[in-house]
Amino acid sequence: MKIYRHFFIMVAIFLASSTASCLSLDQIVDEYLEEIWRFHPVSATHQGVHMYDTLLADYSKNALKAVKKRLGELEQKLSAVDTTSLSIDGIVDYYLVKASIADELFSIEIIREYAKNPLIYSTECIYGVYTILLNPLHSKYDRTYAIWRRLEQVPDYLERAVKNLDHPSQFFCEIAIGQLGSGTDFIDDIYTIYVDSLPEHKRTKFKYITRKAIAAMKLFALQLEMHADPKTPYVLGRDHYEYMLNNIHLLNIDADSLLKIGRNTLDSVSILIDNLQQEHDEPVGIKIRLPENFSKSDVESYRSNEILTVREFVEQSGLVTVPDYIGDINIVETPEFIRGLIPGIAMQPPGPFDDFKTSYFYVPPVPDQFNIGQVEYYYNYVHNRQFRGGVVHEAYPGHHLQISIANQHPSKIRKSFHDYFFIEGWALYCEELMARSMLYQDDTLGAFINALQGVKFRAARVIVDVMLQTGQISYDDAVKYMVEVLGRNRDYVAREVSRYITNPGQASSYLLGKVQLLALLDDFRKTQGADFSFIGFHDNLLSYGSIPIALIKRLMLAEPQP
């Protein structure tokens, strides 16, 4: 709130200005978070804010107009804050609120996402149910009630979605249609599991609500088929892409510079890999005798043990602290409704405001019964510890550790903020860190080559992400390029490229984030001199939350504010 100074109280206000400004910023943070949790109730559930667990979002045109107005008012309040009186931590929170508001307004008024992207609506319906299931601390009855209430809103919600959508992108429509198909099966399964938790007299009503929601989702899929527009762009365009980089992720970079980083890294890392492979003596191939009765349970046991092994190594490495409060990891098969966008592995971290601290480690499904070829494939997968690199990236010391620590930060805006340039940059940084740290004692050079292959993959992602979002290549061109450069399966690459399009910038975040972290490491080393240690750098780095690296740099190096 703007402070008006009067001559007769100038001295009193001067003495209280620091406290008043801080309180004003805290109030703006609280108002923003409450606004955004009401606006995105499913996201609130995921973050561990459960007061909106029975709601789906109201994305009607009137509601969007009202939210836009309230965000504009918050933006004005923020601009009136006297930043000269804020501490360096207050300055960071100030920029995070500013970037968060910019992100929401970007979707509403700049790219008009709610009129062009049907994935918003299909995702809300399915994740509205799924997010309720992620936290088992609530009773089965409470979860069933929340699911019931959200499902009964689906028909009206999707009816509003049809009114909102104006020539929706055919690309997004096709993804949404596939998601709705698997999503209806998912909801049908949930009904079967949860109906028994209700009293007998409510089961018929629950069945009716479930069937009505599924019917609405199927109708929505048919409507998307009819209204999908192949002429509507499915990428941001250069101006909007650069706005996102600069104003939402606080990156001082343009598309051409980012593309140059991707291309230079791809070229240099490819040469380095070729040279190292010439020095690397591949283990002599021997015919492995397959054990009898090798099954899915052996694969599952291996994965669980690998997580424990890597955690123990990280704890003893002296590279980063693993606090006692870090929660467990549950390995689960990737839900079918998101396999179209996540062909590999992924991590679902705990919500920052939730008491439940367990992460879910998504893995591709393993067949219940193996044929001869699958037995050989999965036995080699276990025998050669092919899950270990994924554990490093997704679990320790990657996403699970980093985000679990970030969730403990006392600042509410930092707890809620998830900048994927830092999150993915850290995880990619960890891949090389662990390869250099003797985690793979039997083949350290081979592990380092694998880490470089990961960098090469992420460099290709940068090139594709930038060129797609700036309109320099098409989806088909991007898939063809990734297959040629990386030699990967086309179906896998096609799903990867689809994910890049649905989340602009995320594909570039791995490499650019790592580049930023390496530069910060060099700066921190210089400031510490003889007192430098990797554990000091890593623990310091992870203590600030999942925020843009530019802000972490300011905090870590105690840069004076401009």
Does residue 23 register a pLDDT over 60?
no
CA end-to-end span of the chain: 22
Domain assignments of the chain as residue spans, ordered by start: 7-237, 238-287+409-562, 294-386
Furthest-apart CA atoms within the chain: distance in Å: 90
Q: Would you place residue 532 in the very low, low, confident or very high pLDDT band (cuts 50, 70, 90)?
A: very high
In angstroms, how far is CA 259 from the centroid of its own chain?
Answer: 22
pLDDT in the model for residue 1: 37
Sign of the torsion angle spanned by Cα atoms 242, 245, 250, 254: negative
Most confident of 287-301, 361-375, 458-472: 458-472
Q: What token pair was written down for 333?
A: 């098969």
By C-alpha distance, which of 413, 417, 410 is closest to 94?
413
Contact 466, 258 (CB under 8 A): yes
Q: Which residues contact 308 (CB under 8 A, 6 or more apart)?
A: none
The mean pLDDT of 150-161, rounded to a whole number, is 98
Residue given tokens 């088992």 in the structure block: 136
Distance CA 332, CA 186 (A): 15
The mean pLDDT of 543-555, rounded to a whole number, is 97
Residues paired with residue 330 on neighbouring β-strands, in sequence order: 360
Element (H, E) at 363: strand 359-363
Helix axes 506-528, 420-435, angle to 10 degrees: 70
Range scoring the smallest mean pLDDT among 185-194, 253-262, 339-348, 356-365: 339-348
Distance CA 483, CA 492 (A): 9
Range scoring the smallest mean pLDDT among 165-179, 193-207, 544-558: 193-207
Distance CA 446, CA 431 (A): 13
Range scoring the smallest mean pLDDT among 21-30, 393-402, 483-492: 21-30
Provide DSSP, 19-50: HHHHHHHHHHHHHHHHHHHHH-HHHHHHHT--
pLDDT tens profile 40-64: 999 999 999 999 999 999 999 999 9
